[in-house]
A and B are shown apart, each in its own frame.
Chain A
Amino acid sequence: MASPGRAFRIGLVLVAALSVWSIFTGVIDLTPAQAFGEPGGLALIASSRAPRTLAVLITGAMLAVAGAVMQVILRNRFVEPMTIGTGQGAALGILIASFLIPGAPLVVRMVFATLTALAATFLFLAIVRRLPPTQPLLVPLIGLVYGGLLEAGMTFIAYQYDMMQYIQTWVSGEFSGVLLGRYELLWIAAAVGAALYLIADQLAIAGLGRSMAVSLGLDYGQVMGLALLAVAVVVSLTVVTVGMIPFVGLLVPNIVSRRYGDNLRRTLPLVALTGAGLVLASDIAARLVRHPFEVPVGTIFGVLGAVFFLVLLYARPRHAR
């Protein structure tokens, strides 16, 4: 397998360039000269443009990492947290917290979201465990239907409590609301994602299957539990802050593993970087395509990701996973 080092260095340059572009893209025209020359230029960057760019980078990176981890521990190429119910579980949790404890502080909602995301994921795993291993495509299929079911349940609650508009913000991900002071939770997600890197080797072993992992001396249950908890936290933080962006976790790990294999410790940094770059490029496109209006980046990814999924579904040989 090729070493991802060179790709990582090239990617870093590209992402840096995209970040600069992102900072100078928006409703208010802002050139680099204005930013440093005119009053308010730097303030605009500090309060809005830079937080947005950072939020996009962290979200993209962490969703890609969460997807890679999910694919390794579920041993299935076609899954990611936003298509198997984890994201919908998190949104459901925020919704429940919002009407059980109106005016609850963000931390309380976060805890709720993480717990329901975990519960939704565990329920999905319980269903998946009963599937025959000969049908790998059943896992994403049931995941998609299951996610849709959770979303319908959410719509039901929202209708009853007149909160339809409220839930839209989590169901379709976008970054237009990100300002200084409104995205800082994402740094926790980044920290959790970095922690996943530390247990990357254990995750790779867990990905060999329970019996193999146990015979290699791994505490399988503990590693799986930690990984799922980390994924749930990352996903919940993302959903709370910017909403659901589908398919990032599916697309990026597949692109990276085609060339660089599945060794998580080696590929995770590249996965994170690719995720960050891809979502940032989409966010810039979302701001430019109908300037001065914005298209949710989740919508753009919905189209891109679905097309990619179909390619993935048909490009592979029938028996390969």
Chain B
Amino acid sequence: MHARTLALLAGVLALCCLGYLTLGARAGWDFILPFRAPKLAALLLVGASVSTATVLFQTITNNRLLTPAIMGFDWLYVLLITATVYMIGGFALADLPPLLVFGLTSLIMVAASLLLFGTLLLETRQDLIRMILTGVILSGLFRAGNGLLQRMIDPNEFSVIQVASYARFNAIDTDILPVAALLTLLALAAAWQMRHRLDVLSLGRDAAINLGEDPRRGYLQVLVVVAVLVSVSTAFVGPVVFLGLIVAAIAHVLTPVPYHAVLLPCAALVSMITLVGGQTILERVLQLSTPLSVIVDVVGGAVFILLLLGSLRP
């Protein structure tokens, strides 16, 4: 039953990929492919990262309204990059090997998010609205802090961070692709490895303990994976606030089961379809110059408000 849904989604995704590679191509394959294939790969990676991070996050917070992006993870990453440039200089940063930079920023990101969201998520879990509001405000704080630091940086070095701080699916920097792909695949594999334990964790703290699962350890592991996935996707395309929310909500509708073995691939497929299909339509068919993230933000904001209002009905 769900296998058919997944197969169907995979088919749609294949079509989207084909469309992305071929539509509007005025030159031969050997010319087009080196241009479009890495971008396609990046879109697929980002899609899988965002959806997986969101599903994991929603599992440990036990709420379908929360996503790492709404809680400010994305902007925290951008702020970390800016702070690094501010401290060691943009050119020094650009000179370092990308793998090292990536590994280091991901490490700091993991530590920072464990510190911040670990205390936030694991200690007080009753007052949901207050927590979401905290996340939104933190997100704004990171954003404003980032803006402030950017102004304090030498304009020449500023260009280094500008790449990191706004979502641009149509101008993806593919230099970091191999590193990012490796990290993402590792994190995705870790998430897949955890799929049965995630099913247990999603039952809530007490049930998890009864079934022999240490929730605290599970939550921490999940947060680590989430932090890595967020770092990778934000490094590629910048902050996308509502993508994860939308695709997780769609996945829950398409495959209404609590099993992560179904949910994770379904959300990933929906997410990749959204990105690749959306980008194909936007760039090649409608020929709009707006980044996809802007449209996702408009639609996602509305979806969020509707979900929030819907969740209040008894």
Chain A residues proximal to chain B, CB less than 8 Å? 78, 127, 130-132, 135, 137-138, 140-142, 144-146, 148-149, 152-153, 155-156, 159-160, 162, 172, 246, 289-290, 293, 295-296, 299-300, 302-303, 306-307, 309-310, 313, 318
Contact = CB atoms under 8 A, between A and B. Distances in A.
16 contacts: A137-B129, A137-B130, A141-B308, A144-B133, A144-B137, A155-B297, A159-B290, A159-B294, A289-B152, A295-B151, A300-B148, A302-B141, A303-B144, A303-B148, A313-B130, A318-B127
B291 A299 contact: no
Q: Chain B CB within 10 Å — which of A135, A145, A156, A296 has the most?
A: A145
Contact of B241 (A148, A246, A306): A148
B294 A152 contact: yes
Given A131-B312, A149-B298, A141 B152 contact: no
A53 B138 CA distance: 31
Contacts of A131: 309, 312
B297 A142 contact: no
Contacts of B83: none
Contacts of B205: none
Contacts of B295: 156
* Interface residue SS majority, chain A: helix
A149 B302 contact: yes
Contacts of A300: 148
Q: What is the interface residue range for chain B against chain A?
A: 20 to 34
A158 B304 CA distance: 23
Given A141-B129, A152-B301, A159-B291, A307 B141 contact: yes
Interface of B: 127, 129-130, 132-134, 136-138, 140-141, 143-145, 147-148, 151-152, 241, 288-291, 294-295, 297-298, 301-302, 304-305, 308-309, 312
A185 B298 CA distance: 32
A296 to B, nearest CB: 7
Contact of A306 (B141, B290, B302): B141
B146 to A, nearest CB: 9
B290 A160 contact: yes
Of A132, A140, A172, A303, the most chain B CB neighbours within 10 A belong to: A303
A144 B144 CA distance: 15
Contacts of B294: 152, 155-156, 159
Contact of A313 (B134, B151, B301, B312): B134
Contacts of A137: 129-130, 133
A159 B290 CA distance: 5
Which of A130, A152, A293 has the most chain B CB within a 10 Å cutoff? A152
The 3 closest A-B pairs by CB, nearest first: A302-B144, A149-B301, A306-B141
Contact of A299 (B133, B136, B147, B298): B147
A138 B302 contact: no
Instruction: Kindly name the residue among B140, B297, B308 whose own CB sees the greatest number of chain A CB atoms within 10 A.
Output: B140
Nearest to A300: B148
Nearest to A130: B309
A284 B152 CA distance: 16
A149 B288 CA distance: 19
A114 to B, nearest CB: 23
A309 B137 contact: yes
Nearest to B133: A141
Given A127-B305, A141-B308, A318-B127, A306 B144 contact: yes
A132 B310 CA distance: 12
B141 A310 contact: yes
Contacts of A160: 288-290
A84 to B, nearest CB: 12
A290 B308 contact: no
Contacts of A78: 133
Nearest to A157: B290
Contact of B137 (A159, A289, A306, A318): A306
Given A78-B133, A135-B129, 14 more contacts: A130-B309, A131-B309, A141-B129, A144-B140, A149-B297, A149-B305, A156-B294, A159-B290, A293-B151, A295-B152, A302-B141, A302-B148, A307-B141, A313-B133
Contacts of A153: 298
